[in-house]
């Protein structure tokens, strides 16, 4: 059934143009009958085609590069490269509501959400008993959960569960031009977790980790469970986060690569550790990620110094002849032996599941379990085991390990700073001096989204 997915991204490249070309954000909306008149879902096959296009939207620069790299600039592991301009504002934690990326990523996410909502609404109504119908809905719900989560982390007070400053939820495709109010943070988390619970139960299964034909470029039940673990961690539901992460680890569908470098050498070919990622090849799916990570986003001096005594250093950092650093995870990217500027985005990997499990167990005051998960990653890296059972010291060791394992990729270090600060473990200003209060933990909503809403959409405090 899943062999169809080997051609998903070739189809996506063609179908995204028709599957998403008329979608717009909440401040520039066309009626739904116009948006989808060429994409009417009248069969499971039609639903599959629109789903291809929605996967294809994730390959845009927003999800491929900007979401992660902007967050890494806000945090500790990246700095602006030689071609950077507004990226400097992210590095300084001083981004305003008129910033291009602020608007671009917001708009792109709601395009994806509108398309996902269209798939879910129309596919559920199809009179069909084909098993693929339920899987299509589950994959669309995973994509909807992923996009809501990325929006919440960037624009909503994800760290404050009782906050009214969540994001606008997209349950159904917009049917008229109107501004949408923001849901509170608690409601956003509940919505995301409901989508992931469905996807984890109804989605397609990942093939066995030993299979040479396995692919991680579509939303499986295990991918939904992995994202669920991450969302629970952010929502301070540590027992649930631990249970979901442990279920992924014990599923038998994935395994840690023999060496850290193998993750980035294999990319999408024969990987056994990646749970969900974006594809690329030398024809249909070329992109400029490798170029952008040497022109606009570089490994920070802090990150290079942190990695200096770690055995993952050579896999993570390339030192140029002039002494400057490049991100070796994406430097000299190849596909089938051909050098490319294209590369992938690793949304979810097994190593992160171990670190989520470690943090959740530490916060649940189960240090032995936390150490077992943490040291599984340390062992793969050929680094000495952590032995402390002091809660504060153990949590800090886990945070640092996450930077060593996931640094200069998707900005996890920034979100960890915010989460740890919210738990009272540290002060963000000790690491990023311009972040003096929680108003800079998130970015502003796009200025036009607020202005054109006539008071319906409230801006974040401090902007």
- Per-residue DSSP letter, 175: -
What is the rounded average pLDDT of the residues 285-297? 94
pLDDT > 90 fraction of the chain, expressed in percent and rounded: 82
Kindly indicate the confidence band of residue 3, based on its pLDDT and cuts at 50, 70 and 90: very low
Which structure tokens are listed for 108?
Answer: 């792109």
Residue 163 has pLDDT above 70, yes or no: yes
What top-level class would CATH report for the domain 2-282+345-451?
mainly alpha
Write down the pLDDT at residue 214: 58
Write down the pLDDT at residue 391: 98
3-17, 97-111, 129-143, 184-198, range with the lowest pLDDT: 3-17
Q: State the Cα–Cα distance between residues 399 and 407, nearest whole angstrom.
A: 11
42-56, 123-137, 173-187, range with the lowest pLDDT: 173-187
Residue 126 makes CB contacts below 8 A (sequence gap 6+) with: 41, 42, 43, 44, 47, 133
Of the two residues 39 and 369, the one the predictor is more confident about is 369
Q: Which residue has the tokens 């008229």?
A: 176
The residue among 196, 119, 114, 106 whose CA lies nearest residue 152 is: 106
Burial of 209 per CB tally in 10 Å (0-12, 13-18, 19+): middle
CA 268, 148, 64, 26 torsion-angle sign: positive
Residue 452 has pLDDT above 80, yes or no: yes
What is the rounded average pLDDT of the residues 20-24? 32
Task: State pLDDT tens for residues 189-247.
Answer: 999 999 999 999 999 998 765 555 557 999 999 999 999 999 999 999 999 999 999 99
Compute the mean pLDDT over every residue in the chain, rounded to the nearest whole number.
Answer: 90
Which structure tokens are listed for 400?
Answer: 């640092």
Residue 13 has pLDDT above 70, yes or no: no
3-class DSSP state for residue 297?
Answer: strand
Residue 59 phi/psi, 5° resolution?
-80, 0
The residue among 155, 149, 178, 146 whose CA lies nearest residue 30 is: 178
317, 261 contact by CB (below 8 A): no
- CB count in 10 Å sphere of residue 56: 25
Residue 32 has pLDDT above 80, yes or no: no
268: Cα separation from own chain's centroid? 17
Q: State the Cα–Cα distance between residues 165 and 160, nearest whole angstrom.
A: 9
Task: State pLDDT tens for residues 374-386.
Answer: 999 999 999 999 9
Kindly indicate the confidence band of residue 11, based on its pLDDT and cuts at 50, 70 and 90: very low
Residue 272 has pLDDT above 80, yes or no: yes
Kindly indicate the confidence band of residue 323, based on its pLDDT and cuts at 50, 70 and 90: confident
Kindly indicate the confidence band of residue 175, based on its pLDDT and cuts at 50, 70 and 90: confident
What is the rounded average pLDDT of the residues 44-64? 96
Q: State the Cα–Cα distance between residues 441 and 435, nearest whole angstrom.
A: 7
What is the rounded average pLDDT of the residues 6-20? 36
3-class DSSP state for residue 13?
Answer: helix
208, 252 contact by CB (below 8 A): yes
Residue 82 has pLDDT above 50, yes or no: yes
Residue 46 phi/psi, 5° resolution?
-65, -40
Residue 226 phi/psi, 5° resolution?
-65, -45
Q: SS3 string of 269-282?
A: CCCCCEEEECCCCC
Which structure tokens are listed for 59?
Answer: 């390959």
Q: Is the pTM of this model over 0.95?
A: no
14: Cα separation from own chain's centroid? 24
Distances (CA, A) of 51 to 13, 135, 290: 12, 11, 27
Residue 26 has pLDDT above 60, yes or no: no
Task: State pLDDT tens for residues 402-429.
Answer: 999 999 999 999 999 999 999 999 999 9
What is the rounded average pLDDT of the residues 19-48? 57
Q: State the Cα–Cα distance between residues 119 and 365, nearest whole angstrom.
A: 43
Kindly indicate the confidence band of residue 7, based on its pLDDT and cuts at 50, 70 and 90: very low
Residue 65 has pLDDT above 60, yes or no: yes
Write down the pLDDT at residue 263: 96
Q: State the Cα–Cα distance between residues 389 and 367, nearest whole angstrom.
A: 6
Write down the pLDDT at residue 1: 39
Residue 283 has pLDDT above 90, yes or no: no
What is the rounded average pLDDT of the residues 147-161? 98
Q: State the Cα–Cα distance between residues 245 and 112, nearest whole angstrom.
A: 26
36: Cα separation from own chain's centroid? 27
Written as one string, the DSSP assignment of 230-282 is HHHHHTT-HHHHHHHHHHHHHTSS----SSHHHHHHHTTSS-SSEEEE----S
Which structure tokens are listed for 384?
Answer: 């000495």
End-to-end, the C-alpha distance of the chain in Å comes to 49
Residue 203 makes CB contacts below 8 A (sequence gap 6+) with: 135, 138, 139, 142, 219, 220, 221, 223, 224
**Angle (CA) 340 341 347, round 5°:** 105
Write down the pLDDT at residue 98: 97
Write down the pLDDT at residue 27: 37
Q: State the Cα–Cα distance between residues 147 and 192, nearest whole angstrom.
A: 9
Give whichever of 16-25, 98-107, 169-178, 323-332 has the largest mean pLDDT.
Answer: 98-107
Q: State the Cα–Cα distance between residues 98 and 443, nearest whole angstrom.
A: 11
71, 415 contact by CB (below 8 A): yes
414: Cα separation from own chain's centroid? 13
């Amino acid at each position: 059934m899943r062999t169809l997915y080997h051609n998903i991204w070739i189809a996506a490249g063609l179908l995204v143009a028709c599957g998403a070309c008329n979608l717009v954000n909440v401040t520039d909306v066309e009626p739904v009958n116009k948006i989808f008149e060429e994409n009417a879902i009248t069969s499971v096959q039609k639903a599959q085609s629109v789903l291809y296009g929605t996967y294809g939207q994730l390959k845009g620069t927003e999800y491929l590069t900007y979401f992660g790299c902007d967050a890494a600039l806000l945090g500790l592991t990246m700095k602006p490269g030689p071609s950077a301009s507004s990226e400097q504002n992210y590095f300084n934690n001083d981004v305003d509501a008129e910033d291009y990326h602020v608007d671009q990523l917001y708009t792109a996410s709601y395009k994806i959400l509108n398309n996902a909502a269209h798939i879910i609404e129309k596919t559920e109504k199809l009179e069909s008993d084909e098993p693929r119908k339920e899987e299509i809905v589950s994959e669309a719900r995973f994509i909807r959960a992923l996009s809501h989560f990325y929006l919440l982390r960037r624009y909503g007070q994800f760290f404050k569960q009782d906050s009214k400053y969540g994001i606008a939820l997209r349950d159904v495709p917009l049917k008229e031009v109107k501004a949408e109010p923001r849901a509170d943070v608690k409601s956003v988390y509940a919505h995301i977790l409901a989508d992931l619970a469905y996807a984890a139960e109804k989605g397609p299964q990942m093939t066995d980790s030993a299979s040479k034909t396995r692919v991680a470029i579509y939303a499986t039940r295990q991918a939904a469970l992995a994202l669920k673990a991450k969302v629970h961690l952010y929502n301070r539901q540590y027992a649930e986060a631990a249970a979901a992460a442990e279920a992924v680890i014990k599923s038998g569908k994935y395994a840690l690569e023999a060496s850290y470098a193998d993750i980035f050498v294999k990319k999408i070919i024969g990987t056994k550790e990646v749970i969900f990622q974006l594809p690329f090849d030398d024809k249909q799916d070329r992109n400029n990620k490798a170029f952008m990570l040497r022109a606009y986003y570089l490994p920070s001096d802090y990150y290079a110094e942190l990695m200096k005594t770690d055995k993952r250093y050579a896999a993570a950092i390339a030192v140029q002849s002039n002494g400057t650093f490049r991100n070796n995870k994406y430097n000299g990217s190849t596909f089938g032996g051909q050098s490319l500027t294209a590369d992938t985005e690793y949304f979810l990997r097994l190593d992160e599941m171990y670190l989520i499990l470690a943090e959740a167990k530490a916060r649940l005051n189960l240090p032995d379990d936390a150490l077992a998960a943490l040291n599984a990653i340390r062992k793969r890296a050929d680094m000495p085991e952590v032995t402390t059972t002091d809660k504060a010291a153990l949590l800090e060791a886990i945070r640092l390990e996450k930077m060593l394992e996931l640094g200069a990729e998707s900005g996890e270090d920034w979100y960890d700073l915010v989460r740890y600060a919210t738990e009272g473990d540290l002060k963000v200003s000790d690491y990023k001096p311009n972040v003096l209060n929680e108003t800079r933990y998130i970015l502003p909503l796009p200025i036009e989204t607020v202005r054109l809403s006539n008071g319906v959409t409230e801006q974040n405090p401090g902007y």
